[in-house]
Amino acid sequence: MHALRMFIILMILSSFSSLQTGSHTIDSVPYESNVVVISAGEPFNNETKIEFPSFSYRVTLLLYFVIPVLILVFFIMIKIRQLDHTVNDDPPNSGLSS
């Protein structure tokens, strides 16, 4: 269990460090240039040009976040199952139920 925890922590840290020092450094993020963004799906036309990182970069970033969170959720679910078993295993009048 301890090794798994360390694995999760390392995975999260490596996700961030690879974003900073790996193929996608902050300075070399492949920005999509001249993207016209319409604010929050509003119907009329806006001309302001703001730049977001490219779609491929954003998908990579999403995976860096989502995978550790999913692993964390998986371990939470195991813990829930363990706790539920201990509740069910408690003898009656153990003071657990009000």
Nearer to another protein, 10 or 77 (CB): 77
Question: Residue 12 corresponds to which tokens in the numbers above?
Answer: 């999260």
Residues 70-89 that bind another protein (CB under 8 A): 70, 72-73, 76-77, 79-80, 83-84, 86-87
CA-to-CA distance for 58 and 16, rounded, in angstroms?
14
User: How much is the CA Rg of the chain, to the nearest whole Å?
Assistant: 23
Binder among 26, 30, 54, 93 for another protein (CB under 8 A)? 26
Burial 27-50 (b: 16+ CB within 10 A, else e): eeeeeeeeeeeeeeeeeeeeeeee
Q: How many positions of this chain bind another protein (CB under 8 A)?
A: 37
Binder among 2, 3, 40, 93 for another protein (CB under 8 A)? 40
Nearer to another protein, 3 or 27 (CB): 27
